[in-house]
Amino acid sequence: MTSDSNQIIQLNVGGISFSTMKETLLREPNSFFETLFVPEKLEKVSKFAILLANGSYFIDRDGYLFTFILDYLRNGRLIVPQNFDNLIRLRDEAEFYQLYNLKKYLDNYAVKKKSNDFSGILENGGYITLGYRGTFAFGRDGQSDVKFRKLQRILVCGKVTLCRDVFGDTLNDSRDPDRDEYERYTSRLYLKHQSLEKACDMLAEKGFKLVATCCSGANGLTPIGLTMCSNQNTINQQELMHQRNSSEYEEQRWAHYTEYIFYREPMYAGGILSIQ
């Protein structure tokens, strides 16, 4: 039998229908939604909310903005689209629904935005690209007694603030110093380590997801020592075989370049709240 807290509630907010659990609506204490389930309190707010004959509740507020209110109650954080221009109206909705934690953070965001200081308030979304030139390391005569994958350096491209937020002290920005502007992009960063898995873990911990990748094929090129001139009719076969069996030749032959593109949706750090 379904408990009272797991009861499904039908809402009509400004003409848009929503379905959710009663427990979700009551997740933040002392909110407007508590009045819906107490007849005496509901009567006092009859100008804004009424119980319809079909058992659903009608709330005379903005249905589009209620989408973000309900997502906030479900997930405990506020996520809005990029270039969202209804934050003031959303703040008013948060005040109406008596979600004071959400209102406080929207107030803080408005102050920071006015002073052009987004630090700590806006956890911006965007793209970060990891690129590396690698090969397959071989021992003498094909003996794989060394690490199979060999990376020269992991390159990082993207917005500087995002890259620093993700990689922290493991990011080497010596080739692109003094880039503190909020919207600065660069392709001159690289990591101090050569562990691709570690870099991917750090991106995943910050909410980034892999969205695309590309890779060149192995070049199969002849090493520098084997260049042929047009006026040469023969090649020293012994030297050719010696170089072809060398590990350096194998590494050059399998050299390739790979890029991984990661993306994180924009979200407001101030909206990541615990509302248990």
Examine the domain organization and report whether 96 and 144 are in the same domain.
no
Strands, sheet with 126-136, edge to edge from the N-terminal-most edge strand: 171-172, 185-191, 149-159, 126-136, 256-264, 209-215
The pLDDT value recorded for residue 1 is 41
pLDDT tens string 70-102: 999 998 888 887 677 788 899 999 999 999 988
Residue 158, C-beta contacts closer than 8 angstroms, at least 6 positions apart:
126, 127, 128, 129, 185, 186
Examine the domain organization and report whether 107 and 182 are in the same domain.
no
The pLDDT value recorded for residue 231 is 45
The answer to whether residue 64 is domain-embedded is yes
Share of residues in the chain with pLDDT > 70 (%)? 70
Confidence of residue 267 (pLDDT cuts 50, 70, 90): low
Q: What is each CA distance from 241 to 46, 77, 203, 236, 244, in whole angstroms? A: 91, 64, 44, 9, 5
The answer to whether residue 66 is domain-embedded is yes
Write 241-245 long-range contacts (CB < 8 A, 24+): 245/140, 245/141
- Beta strands per DSSP E along the chain: 8-13, 16-21, 49-51, 57-59, 122-123, 126-136, 149-159, 171-172, 185-191, 209-215, 256-264, 267-268
Share of residues in the chain with pLDDT > 90 (%)? 45
The answer to whether residue 15 is domain-embedded is yes
Rounded to the nearest angstrom, the gap between the alpha carbon of residue 29 and the centroid of all alpha carbons in its chain is 30
Rounded to the nearest angstrom, the gap between the alpha carbon of residue 27 and the centroid of all alpha carbons in its chain is 26
The pLDDT value recorded for residue 139 is 57
pLDDT tens string 159-174: 888 898 899 999 988 8
Of 117, 141, 159, which residue is a domain's last?
117
Q: How many CB atoms lie within 10 A of CB 29?
A: 8
Examine the domain organization and report whether 136 and 98 are in the same domain.
no
The answer to whether residue 276 is domain-embedded is no
pLDDT of 233 higher than 70: no
- Please give the residue that has the higher pLDDT: either 15 or 272: 15
Task: State the average pLDDT over residues 29-33.
Answer: 93
Closest CA to 267 of 75, 10, 81, 105: 81
Size (the chain), residues: 276
The answer to whether residue 92 is domain-embedded is yes
Q: How many domains, in total, are found in the chain?
A: 2
Examine the domain organization and report whether 138 and 246 are in the same domain.
yes
The pLDDT value recorded for residue 255 is 84
Torsion over CA: 270, 272, 275, 276 (sign): negative
Lowest-pLDDT range, 38-42, 127-131, 193-197, 264-268? 264-268
The pLDDT value recorded for residue 47 is 93
- Domain range enclosing 217: 126-268
The pLDDT value recorded for residue 127 is 93
Confidence of residue 131 (pLDDT cuts 50, 70, 90): very high
Examine the domain organization and report whether 156 and 175 are in the same domain.
yes
Examine the domain organization and report whether 24 and 101 are in the same domain.
yes
pLDDT of 62 higher than 90: yes
Contact 259, 215 (CB under 8 A): yes
pLDDT tens string 172-230: 888 766 555 556 888 889 999 989 999 999 999 988 999 999 998 776 655 544 444 44
Tell me the residue type at 96: F
pLDDT of 269 higher than 50: no
The answer to whether residue 200 is domain-embedded is yes
Examine the domain organization and report whether 56 and 136 are in the same domain.
no
The answer to whether residue 273 is domain-embedded is no
Q: What is the pTM of this model?
A: 0.48
The pLDDT value recorded for residue 202 is 95
- For strand 57-59 and strand 49-51, is the pairing parallel, antiparallel, or unpaired? antiparallel
Of 97, 117, 137, which residue is a domain's last?
117
The pLDDT value recorded for residue 239 is 61
Examine the domain organization and report whether 153 and 217 are in the same domain.
yes
The answer to whether residue 43 is domain-embedded is yes
> What CATH number does the domain containing 24 carry?
3.30.710.10
- For strand 49-51 and strand 171-172, is the pairing parallel, antiparallel, or unpaired? unpaired
Examine the domain organization and report whether 184 and 156 are in the same domain.
yes
Examine the domain organization and report whether 25 and 113 are in the same domain.
yes
Of 73, 88, 117, which residue is a domain's last?
117
Examine the domain organization and report whether 69 and 141 are in the same domain.
no
Instruction: State the Cα–Cα distance between residues 11 and 227, nearest whole angstrom.
Output: 76
Contact 167, 199 (CB under 8 A): yes
